[in-house]
Amino acid sequence: MQCQLCDKIATVHLTEISHGEKLERHLCEECAQKEGVTIKAHVPIGELLTNLMAAQQETQEMSDMSCPQCDISWPEFRKRGQLGCPNDYIAFEEPLRKLIKRTQEGATSHVGRVPENARGGMSQQLQLLRLRQDLQRAVEAEDYETAANIRDDIDKLTTN
């Protein structure tokens, strides 16, 4: 099949349905890029099939999952977008982690943001909080030298 713009061999085939009408476009990679179509790198067919089979198996395993307290299933949660009870976080822990990681660009814990107008005092409070957490970890690990240094840093921040 030929590219509709330059008559080279078409390697990108697009189908768009708008207002019930089907529009097909056949472009070469060069013309597709000029049109703003993002082309992903070619994936070997073996890798593609392996990933597809793994995803299908994972989906099947997750469809069998349900919460023992409220009986909500994983597919039902995905459809509604809302968990049924607090126990769902435990029942669906693994797939929820994967979902959160994917939707939050790899982050699995909430960091939050500090408002622009509260930078000064708030950042000092956050620094104190982090230092106290580090102090607790150092004491638990029996790393008393590090704990003493952190304690001194906390004292410097609180006496200013």
**Cα angle 91-107-43, degrees, rounded to a multiple of 5:** 95
**pLDDT over 70 at 74, yes or no:** yes
Query: Quick one: pLDDT at residue 140?
Result: 92
Please check whether residue 77 is in contact with residue 88, taking contact to mean a CB–CB distance below 8 angstroms.
yes
Q: Of 64-68, 85-89, 107-111, which gets the smallest average pLDDT?
A: 107-111
Indicate the pLDDT class of residue 151, thresholds 50, 70 and 90. very high
Query: Pick the residue with more confidence: 159 or 69?
Result: 69
**Cα angle 46-50-53, degrees, rounded to a multiple of 5:** 140
pLDDT tens figures, 22-69: 888 888 888 888 887 776 666 677 777 777 777 776 666 677 788 999
Is pTM beyond 0.75? Reply is: no
Strands (E), 28-142: none
Report the distance separating Cα 45 and Cα 151, nearest Å: 57
Query: Quick one: pLDDT at residue 60?
Result: 67
Please check whether residue 28 is in contact with residue 3, taking contact to mean a CB–CB distance below 8 angstroms.
yes
**pLDDT over 60 at 158, yes or no:** yes
Domains of the chain, residue spans: 1-39, 45-103, 118-159
Could you tell me which residues come within 8 angstroms of residue 66 by beta carbon, excluding any fewer than 6 positions away?
72, 73, 74, 91
Angstrom CA distances, 31 to 10, 11, 22, 41, 116, stand at: 9, 10, 21, 16, 44
Which residue bears the tokens 């003493």? 148
Query: Quick one: pLDDT at residue 59?
Result: 66
| Backbone φ and ψ of 36, nearest 5° | 90, 15
Query: Quick one: pLDDT at residue 133?
Result: 92
**pLDDT over 90 at 146, yes or no:** yes
Segment 73-80 shows an average pLDDT of: 85
pLDDT tens figures, 114-135: 566 655 566 777 788 889 999 9
